[in-house]
Amino acid sequence: MIKAVFLDVDNTLLDFNECSLLSIKQACEKFGVKFNERLVETFHRINNILWHDIEKGTITKEHLHEIRWKLIFDDIGGIDADGIEFEKEFFAGLNTIAVPVDGATELVEYLAGKYDLYVVSNAAYSQQINRLEKCGMLKYIKKVFVSDDIGFAKPSCEFFDACYSELTHIKPCETVIIGDSLSADIIGGINYGLKSCWFNLKKEPLPEDVKPDMVTESLRDIPGFL
């Protein structure tokens, strides 16, 4: 019997692609950097690499914030801007921009009527709290678990250990994790004994050795599963 749902935030409840796009535009305007599609594409490529490194424990988020935009600017070339200062402006923008994924608000309202809802995220606590509050979802969430407070990132067992050390009334087998990251959310959840629902936002192929309980390209399909 399912009692709880663990929810990822970025590109699950909130549209990180759109939020980051708006934040990049704001930072570009402040620092006089030309905004274009190459800048956005390079951001996502390098950002994905860095976050996978965080999941593997090979870099920290502090290091990401120090190097992310320097790596992006170096990759593109010809941009005369301070990567660390640009990062500060970009990150500040992400703290205030909240664009829900299609169907996310309705899904959270539906799930809250049946289960205890918890956020599990590798992003900053204040960032997720601010954004979920802004889009009206925070009132449905019983607690927000983030890697900064725990000291370990998804998909590590230590991250989930910390969650269940507080949720003593819930077992992993009584929990469903919903997220877009196959590595952090789905594989991490499966390895810990959770039920899993992969929100396949990018329409990626599913590896044969990974078997989520549900795969969907739309959040609107999930009520039929839960």
Residues 83, 186, single domain; the answer is no
> What domain range includes position 68?
16-94
CA 82 to chain centre: 26
Residues 147, 71, single domain; the answer is no
What gap in Å lies between CA 46 and CA 124, rounded to an integer?
19
Task: Tell me the one-letter amino acid at 24.
Answer: I
Tokens, residue 78: 């010809």
Residues 127, 214, single domain; the answer is yes
Query: What pLDDT score was predicted for residue 67?
Result: 97
- Out of 94, 122, 149, a domain closes at 94
Query: What pLDDT score was predicted for residue 74?
Result: 96
Structural domain count of the chain: 2
- Which CATH number belongs to the domain containing residue 25 in this structure? 1.10.150
- Out of 42, 63, 94, a domain closes at 94
Task: Give residue-wise pLDDT tens across range 112-167.
Answer: 999 999 999 999 899 999 999 999 999 999 999 999 899 999 999 999 999 999 99
Residues 103, 215, single domain; the answer is yes
Q: Please choose, from the candidates 100, 118, 88, 98, the residue with its C-alpha nearest in 3D space to the C-alpha of residue 12.
A: 100
Residues 121, 206, single domain; the answer is yes
Residues 108, 193, single domain; the answer is yes
Contact of 145 with 118, CB cutoff 8 Å: yes
Residues 107, 185, single domain; the answer is yes
Residues 32, 127, single domain; the answer is no
Number of H helices, E strands in the chain: 9, 6
First and final C-alpha spacing in the chain = 11
- Out of 41, 70, 94, a domain closes at 94
pTM of the model: 0.91
Q: What is the mean pLDDT of each run of 10 residues along the chain (226 residues)?
A: 97 96 97 96 96 92 95 95 96 94 98 98 93 97 95 95 97 98 96 98 93 97 95
Tokens, residue 145: 């678990």
- Indicate the helix (H) or strand (E) that contains 24: helix 16-31
Residues 109, 83, single domain; the answer is no
